[in-house]
Structure 1
Amino acid sequence: MSTEPYRRDEASPLVSVVVPVYNIETLVEACVQSILGQSYAHLEIILVDDGSTDRSGSICEAIAQTDDRVRVLTKVNGGLSDARNHGIRHAVGALITCVDGDDMVARDYVAALMRPLIETDADLSSIGFLRVLEGYVDARTDTPDATYEFWPREVALERLFLQDGLTTSAWGKMYRSNAFDGIEYPVGSIHEDLPVTYKLVSRARAVAVINSVGYFYVQRRGSITGRADYGRRVEAVRFAEEAVEFCRLEEPTLVGAAKARAMMECAYIISQVPRLADLRDLDPVVPGTIRSYRGDVLRYRRTPKAQKLTALISFAGIGAVWSLMRVRSIASAARTTMRSTR
């Protein structure tokens, strides 16, 4: 990975686009073509084939033969975090952005993310995203005049924890390459971005948030109402607790915001339980964390209303939280379907 900091006087820096790929033969070509079609062309596109057992690897190799900006790295399967770390380590660009191999990006995705890093002292930029159904993505959207907001580090950290205009996702962001020095995504985790993004934001002088959609999170058919392994998701609580401890030591005024994030991680885990009766099998750390933090979440003056409602509902029990979160999940799925069929 390049350790040279990006120079603001460098008008056309090389941008590394890191794309983990694993068994997505029906989606990877569309993803890569959306990157190759960027309005900003000075790119290196690093496709990390994470031991695919389908045609994904050969598709990547075929694309690389058509454009010398594409590099294919092949490795033994190690999971999303391992693949992303591998790509970042091999990146030589002054700026880095990550795109998941089954998603797509708008034509001006790179240009929009890069602009504030040229014009301001921001060290990280983020762009809006849409969840869309597989097969319904039009990534030709142009955002040449997209405006952006400039958030000082403390503001960005708070809004990240409160999930207010800034997500923890690794994708949909651009970083100066030296931001990752000493930081890697945890291998084997299904919450690899949660313990990393706040550290990257904490290193930034400021964060720029682009007021435009540039990333399309593709929801595969049949999975929009699916439920993940909620038992494995309990690790998210541990990561969120680490963020609370980080704030206690480094950003004491943001402890309430970090607790709100931890509480909402627990609420999300509860929402993944398929049946109300199955709540009895839930790891006790989940309801315990909600009970421990809900008072602080209610008292924190900038907690969003929806999160305060979750804290209030929790006094009626985790069954009430389950019902509330399931309603929100259904509404989110409906919005995704509506966006994809317009």
Structure 2
Amino acid sequence: MDDAKSDDVLVSVIVPVYNVAKYLGRCLDSLLAQTHGNCEFIVIDDGSTDESARICDHYAAQDGRVRVVHKQNGGLSSARNAGLDIARGSYYAFVDSDDYVESKYVENMLRAILESEAELAMCSVVCEDGEGHPVALPFFVALDDCVHRRYDCMAMSCDNTAMIVAWNKLYRANLWSSLRFPEGEIHEDELVFHHVLKQCKSVAFVSDGLYHYVSNDKSIMHADYSSRNLSRITALSERIAVLRDLGYDDLVSTVTDMLIDAYLVQVIRMNYRDASTRRELSSLGKRISRDLGGASSLLTLKQRMNLQGISRCPVLYLDLRRCLNKLRKQ
């Protein structure tokens, strides 16, 4: 790799901000300390009501690389999309504003992409609480220093959450030319992951823990269950459709098990007798049936029976599952 050439590459780092005054300074300080000098930091204040907006403006006044956009609150996807719409770099990264990164985050990720000619790079994640203490989150598996094919990444995503989150990654800008995060959803990362990866021939892994994920109990992912949690099931259904388009039929059964488990875990904790929830379950069942259409030969008999219940009679299906679970416990 030509170091002079890599120094010329503009990287756009998009930071969505909403009421994170406690953590925002640490996040922005870590970005301004990047050893790769040619960065723009696009900070999207998504209608914050605390001191976050003032902090954003303070950093912009101190450093010309910081570009701040103040907008009406629209959620995480809306903020990220606003950043994508104005990004000027050849590569994009997303950093959540309560997280932070190591000083060589951009440099090492960019080097990995340029040396391997991959479309995407991702690094290992350091998990901690708001006070900086280590947190054991087993679904974030450490990565190796390697370049993996798209198929391998699709397969590994079944076991490693670090594969599907939007952050801890550096993307070629063209991956987002016709792609945006779905707004109003709470599993937005999982809903776009397969669409990003579908465009990649290979992905460069960086073993270093360059991204610090701060576990926040007040985050939306820790909120009470509602019909919005159905978006994870939608994401898995869409992923199955993408796998079939790519010819990765051997992965369909694995993701189908994930879909069935997600359905049981997330839906059974909701009030699925509520009329509006029943309508959403019916609509979701039709989507699943469509996305898995023609895939029955790839599934086990048990999977096919579960999917028939989900798609045709979701409320009856859930009642039967509850009864079976009670019988097993007796």
TM-score bucket of the superposed structures, by smaller chain: 0.7 to 0.9
Quote the residue 1:186 is aligned against: 182
**1:10 maps onto 2:5 in alignment:** yes
* Stretch moving more, 246-255 or 218-227: 218-227
| Change in CA separation of 1:250 and 1:223 when aligned onto 2, cut-off 3 Å | closer
Query: What residue number does 1:34 align with?
Result: 30
The amino acid across from 1:212 in the alignment is: D
How far residue 172 of structure 1 moved from its aligned partner, in angstroms, is 0.8
- The aligned counterpart of 1:158 is 155
Matches within 5 A, 1:84-163: 84-136=80-132, 148-160=145-157, 162-163=158-159
Contact 2:186 2:221 in 1 (8 A): no
Quote the residue 1:333 is aligned against.
Answer: none
The number of aligned residues is 287
After TM superposition, give the deviation of residue 126 of structure 1 in Å: 1.0
- Give unpaired runs (5+ residues) of structure 2: 135-142, 304-317
Equivalent residue letter for 1:151: H
* d(CA) in 2 for partners of 1:297, 1:236: 22
Contact 1:122 1:207 in 2 (8 A): yes
2:74 maps to a residue whose letter is G
User: Aligned equivalents of 2:300 and 2:146: distance in 1?
Assistant: 26
Point out 4+ residue stretches in structure 1 off by more than 6 angstroms: 222-225, 278-287, 297-300, 319-322
The one of 179, 192, 195 equivalent to 1:196 is 192
Q: 1:280 deviation in Å?
A: 8.1
Local SS of the residue matching 1:10: helix
2:255 pairs with 1:258? yes
Deviation string for 1:237-290 (max 9, x for gaps)?
12211221222233342322432442343355269x49xxx7988976899x8x
Q: What is the alpha-carbon distance in structure 1 between the residues aligned to residue 156 and residue 72 of structure 2?
A: 37
Structure 2: which amino acid aligns with 1:26? K
Structure 1 distance, partners of 2:302, 2:6, is: 46
Q: Which amino acid aligns with 1:94?
A: S
SS at match of 1:92: coil
Name the SS for the 1:112 alignment partner. Answer: helix
Q: TM (normalized to structure 1)?
A: 0.72
List per-residue Cα deviations over 1:266-315 (Å, max 9, x = no partner): 355269x49xxx7988976899x8xx99x948999xxxxxxxxxxxxx9x
Change (3 A) 1:8 1:122: farther
Q: Return closer, same or farther for 1:249/1:221 CA change in 2, 3 Å cut-off.
A: closer
Q: Distance in 2 between matches of 1:169 and 1:297?
A: 29
Larger Rg, first or second structure (1 or 2): 2
Counterpart residue type for residue 216 of structure 1: H
Shift of 1:319: 9.0
The answer to whether the 8 Å contact 1:157/1:202 transfers is: no
Cα 1:155–1:76, aligned 2, differ >3 Å: closer, same or farther? Answer: same
Aligned match of 2:166: 170
Q: Deviations 1:11-60 (Å, cap 9, x if unpaired)?
A: 22111110001111111111111111122222110000111122111100
SS in 1 for 2:6: coil
Which letter maps to 1:250? L
Report the alpha carbon displacement of residue 236 of structure 1 after superposing the two structures with TM.
Answer: 1.5
